Structure 1
Amino acid sequence: MLLLLLLLALVVGKEAKPLNGNGLRSLHKRFVNSYDEPIDFSCPDHQSIYLIYSIENRYFKDRLWDFYCKPTFDTSHPISPQKGNYVNDFDGEVNFTCPVNSVVTAIGSYHDNWAEDRRWKFTCTMQAGVCMDVCQWTDYLNDFHSLLFWVAPDVHYLTGVHSYHCNVAEDRRWKFQYCSKVSCRTSY
């Protein structure tokens, strides 16, 4: 069932990366990083991350990552991205929430072989007249050394990330915050 959901999620929605003629990515191009290599992923303008997929390799003590984007903002109005700094130290907790009424539109990371961990940073984007409401956190979505797969529920958007690292496993567990999008009044 999980495999079916994964395949369905891969072909639904607008993609930030090219697809092959069958609507699926080639396996060698599926992930945005290689083991021990940096991540520098950004959604196209006016879109945000709605699907996160990751697999871990015990030899490399690192994960491959993939992200998918969906339309989020009105393309006829400007957006305001806010690039962030790294939010954790190696082996430290990631406890990140976008500023009020913004969503995650880009993710960056780099790996250190001594720590066998990554530092993470996020870009959050907002648009005048768009507010986030009814926010909630998932439970932890993976165990150490296991697949991580998350899709934002319909009409919800990624707004926060929490993770902790275990030195014995040299891996992380993850959970995400998501909110619904509503119209709001702007002050001028």
Structure 2
Amino acid sequence: MLIPKLLLALSLIVGEVSSFLVDYVNDLDGPMDFSCAGNTSLHQLASSHDNGAEDRRWSFGCLPARDKVQNCVWSGYVNDFDRPVLYECPGEDFINGVRSIHDNGAEDRRWAFQCCALRGHARSHCHFTGYLNQYDGPLSYTVPDDQLIHGISSIHDNGAEDRIFAFEVCHYVEGEYKK
């Protein structure tokens, strides 16, 4: 709970609150279910790893979207425990929610994602960020203002009992909505 509150306090001090990073949305070893509400899009992700529980707690922040967020659909779980995640939303959609369940035997999570469309926009100039954390280390990522997350890559390590994460981000430009 300390990391999100410190980030918010720092943002308030410098006078730049671009989104609101909510408190942790999951307990260690517990399920997680988060999606940006209404007409907002996922803008910040942060997590910290606990070596005792061998799990991560997650926080997310959302910003008002540039256009109407519509047609949101959840994927099923996209990985098995201890297996990589490589997932992209279909078509022009972007990731706007995250679900996961933890298994104490595998000390890992299975992941599902909510994909939504941004009315009147198509994705362009997509690229992966590269891995943003080290095993057992914190993760903090703010999506650039003109981009959305289209995909995710994650690798689990059985020694560290943790995952590293990279995100595929895309510019969303005005264009024909294809669905």
TM-score tier by shorter-chain length is: 0.7 to 0.9
Whether contact under 8 Å (1:137, 1:175) holds in the other structure is yes
Counterpart of 1:155 (choices 146, 160, 172) is 146
- The corresponding residue for 1:8 is 11
Give per-residue Cα distances to partners, 1:30-49, cap 9 Å, x unaligned. 20111001100010122221
1:103 aligns with 2:94: yes
Q: How do 1:1-188 residues align onto structure 2 when only pairs under 5 Å count?
A: 6=7, 7-8=10-11, 12-15=17-20, 17=22, 30-75=23-68, 79-186=70-177
Secondary structure of the residue aligned to 1:79 is strand
Tell me the SS of whatever aligns to 2:47: strand
How many Å separate the matches in 2 of 1:176 and 1:32?
Answer: 20
Deviation at 1:167, TM superposition (A): 0.4
- Given that residues 41 and 96 in structure 2 are in contact (C-alpha distance below 8 angstroms), is that contact kept between their aligned partners in structure 1? yes
What's the C-alpha RMSD, in Å, of the aligned pairs? 2.3
Q: TM-score by structure 1 length?
A: 0.83
Amino acid at match of 2:11: L
In 2, distance between residues paired with 1:35 and 1:167?
Answer: 18
Paired residues of 2:21 and 2:44 also in contact (CA < 8 A):
no
Deviations 1:84-130 (A, max 9, x none): 10000000001011112111111000100000000000010004421
Q: TM-score, normalised by structure 2?
A: 0.87
**Deviation for aligned residue 1:73:** 4.5
Contact 2:31–2:99 at 8 Å: present in 1 too?
yes
Deviation of the 1:13 alpha carbon: 2.9
Unmatched segments (≥5 aa) in structure 1: 18-29
Structure 2: how far apart are the matches of 1:185 and 1:163?
Answer: 31
Q: One-letter code of the match for 1:42? A: S
**Identity across matched positions, percent:** 37
Count of residues in Structure 1 that have an aligned counterpart in Structure 2: 170
Matches of 1:58 and 1:153 in 2, distance apart?
30
Partners of 1:142 and 1:91 in 2: how far apart?
18
CA-to-aligned-CA distance 1:7-45 (integer Å, 9 cap, x gap): 339x6234385xxxxxxxxxxxx2011100110001012
Does structure 2 conserve the Cα–Cα contact (< 8 Å) formed by 1:16 and 1:43? no
